[in-house]
Chains A and B, each alone.
Chain A
Amino acid sequence: MTPIVEATNISKWYGKVIGLNNFSIKVEKGITGIVGPNGAGKSTFFKLLTGNIKTNVGELRVLGEAPWRNPRQLAKIGFCPDYDFLPGEMKGREYLRFVGGLHSMEGTALQDRIAEVLGIVGMTKDADRGMGGYSKGMKQRLKIAGALLHDPPLLLLDEPLTGTDPVVRKELIDIIRDLNRVHGHDVIVSSHVLHEIERMTHSVALIYKGRTVAIGNISEIRQLMSGHPHNIVLEGSHMVDMAKVLVSRDFTVSVELRPDRTGMVVKVDRPEAFFDAMPEMAREAGCELRRMESLDDDLESVFKYVVRW
């Protein structure tokens, strides 16, 4: 199957700042999540896909064509950026008329399509209000409606969930899933939160500092998260005894007791084995735990581990 996006060793830098660094990826049809912390290069990647900027080196193909200086191709792409650009003085429906006009849509066909996309994103009721009074969630919905209006095969959604409350986030996740399952659009969606992406798709690419760290199924990514060494904070009673028990286990790499002996940081190379053994170890040491927290149970740690930082 031909990938919808194929980037081969692309790099993009802005002066001395590197946006993407020897970045390669193949994106297949369906929903694909691009996950990475802020500054990882997600937005740079989207700007390259839409031809807003051009690569310094490497080859990029979107739907089989190079995107730079290729406005014709933008008829096949709908883009929803991560920032707020909606003109506050306009009404939602007026804004969509503007977007439709730029995509050579007019007349009743445009009116009908506007009504349809407003229905898809759940904004029919508020479409005739000024956008200046919209909540963050409403703005995100309308931005998605704008990207969707010309019915493109490929949708690029850059951090569509950022700044929304949990209820809106759930609704947006449902909408994004339906854009693929019900309406047949291929979707590339970015986020810096893995579990948000996990609720939309199992196909994920992790990027960090402008590079692809891992691409694949979300379960493989989860494996990476639980498989890399963790630093775990323990607080409670009998910490010295607990430390003695811990150093006798083969998953323990190091133990660092606090001077006041009420807590420690233990480094383990197999976190899952550590957590499984914890109840038994606590019993053995006679320890009552008040706090147990992994300092590395996040994507940032996975990225650092994978790139050996």
Chain B
Amino acid sequence: MDLRGNMIGFRTMLVFSSRKLVSHRRWLLAVALGALVCAVMGYGATQDMADIDTASDMMDLLLLTFLLPVLALIYGASMIRNEMDDRSIIQVITSPLDRRTSYLGYFIALTIVLVVLLSIITALGGVSFFMMNGEEGAAGLVLAFMYAMCIGAVVYSALFLVLGVVLKQPIYLGLFYVFIWEGFVGSLEGAIGQYTIRHQLRVIVSDMVSSGNIANVEGDTGTATAILVVLTVVLLVLGVYAFREKEMP
């Protein structure tokens, strides 16, 4: 297939895969998780001594540590895996579209949907807190976290998409990664805690905010960004290779 054909195929994958993600019943879970974050943020804002540091810590915990990897896992690990399981992927793999192109179509569609969802939830969470509290500096904090969520959406999409291709039950390894590696190991003191996507995202946010514990995270933003870019590229190359070589009985 020539370049034009690949472009049309890529666009088709993008449109239909995004639509499928959005129209799937998973959106109920996304809404529930989003509502939970907003409710907790709003409630936290009404407590004594709640200030912009509190808002920053809550966003760090609720959005960056919890919602971002969990939503990416829910959407990413099941995206290609579900199509392989219900065999609706047959239309994609029996078309002349190069599998590398279709994989990138899945990836970009997943990333766009996650970025939109997470941006909305981050904004609503921030608004919930600051409406109840009235602290200043809200916009900068919300934007910093929104930026980190968008970068995180890209990296986690690459990670969980490849898990969905190579594993029959990607959700288990995904849960292990999110809660044991990122959540537990990532919170340990010392070098080992830095080997997580979450840590690199926190480094990036720390450079943009001056409130909350996240502002004290040490590290170089350039290095953190480079690590995430390299990780994303490596995961994408792995995913493309696995998808291309995959037999689909």
Taking Cβ atoms with an 8 Å cutoff, the residues of A that contact B are 14, 44, 47, 50, 52-54, 69, 71-75, 77, 79, 81, 83, 85-87, 89, 98-99, 101-106, 146
Contact = CB atoms under 8 A, between A and B. Distances in A.
25 contacts: A14-B249, A47-B249, A50-B93, A52-B90, A52-B249, A53-B249, A71-B95, A71-B99, A72-B96, A77-B94, A79-B90, A79-B94, A81-B90, A83-B87, A85-B86, A85-B88, A85-B91, A101-B13, A101-B16, A102-B13, A102-B91, A104-B2, A104-B8, A104-B9, A146-B91
Interface of B: 1-2, 4-6, 8-9, 11-13, 15-16, 20, 23, 86-88, 90-99, 244, 247-249
B94 A53 contact: no
A101 B9 contact: yes
Nearest to B9: A102
Contacts of B95: 71, 74, 99, 102-103
A103 B96 contact: yes
Contacts, number: 82
B94 A98 contact: no
Contacts of A81: 87, 90
Contacts of A87: 20, 88
B6 to A, nearest CB: 8
A86 B95 CA distance: 15
B109 to A, nearest CB: 13
B94 A101 contact: no
Contacts of A47: 248-249
Given A52-B94, A75-B96, A79-B94, A106 B8 contact: yes
Of A44, A52, A75, A101, chain B has the most CB atoms within 10 Å of the CB of A101
Contacts of B98: 71
Given A104-B2, A105-B8, 7 more contacts: A44-B249, A54-B247, A74-B94, A75-B1, A83-B87, A101-B8, A104-B5
Contacts of B88: 85-87
